[in-house]
């Protein structure tokens, strides 16, 4: 009798786990904010690599003050903004000017490794 109760309890736990994981997968599939969060984490990792290795980056930005989706491309060296972790500081290459950029406005990051940048 105990074996039947153990089996039914195990089956109930298994069914509950399958149901919960299915719900999580479905919620993640329809949740665009999860995709945006993963994309921003990837961009942050790329920026951290560029900062650590002091490499030249090319960044594609979304212009926020525009009604239409417009983009801007900037290049230079990146530094962390210690006062605001949601922003980076870009020292642009030709003019050596500093610019603060919100990480949420970054669409793409390309790193030009030092071997290529020196050539």
> Could you write out the DSSP letters of every residue in 73-109?
EEEEEEEE-TT-TTEEEEEETTT--EEEEEGGGEEEE
Q: What is the mean pLDDT of residues 36-46?
A: 88
CB distance 109 to 59 below 8 Å: yes
Q: Which two tokens stand for residue 112?
A: 């030009």
Buried b (16+ CB within 10 A) or exposed e, 15-52: eeeeeeeeeeeeeeeeeeeeeeeeeeeebeebbeebbe
How much is the pLDDT for 17?
Answer: 77
Residue 94 has pLDDT above 80, yes or no: no
Residue 117 has pLDDT above 50, yes or no: no
Residue 58 has pLDDT above 60, yes or no: yes
How much is the pLDDT for 82?
Answer: 87
């Amino acid at each position: 009798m105990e074996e039947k109760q153990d089996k039914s309890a195990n089956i109930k736990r298994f069914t509950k786990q399958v149901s919960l994981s299915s719900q999580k997968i479905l919620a993640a599939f329809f949740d665009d904010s999860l995709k945006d969060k993963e994309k921003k984490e990837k961009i942050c990792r790329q920026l951290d690599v560029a900062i650590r290795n002091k490499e030249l980056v090319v960044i594609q930005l979304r212009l926020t003050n525009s009604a239409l989706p417009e983009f801007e491309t900037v290049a230079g060296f990146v530094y962390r903004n210690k006062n605001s972790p949601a922003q980076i500081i870009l020292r642009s290459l030709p003019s050596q000017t500093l610019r603060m950029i919100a990480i949420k406005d970054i669409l793409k990051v390309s790193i030009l490794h030092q071997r290529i940048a020196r050539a």
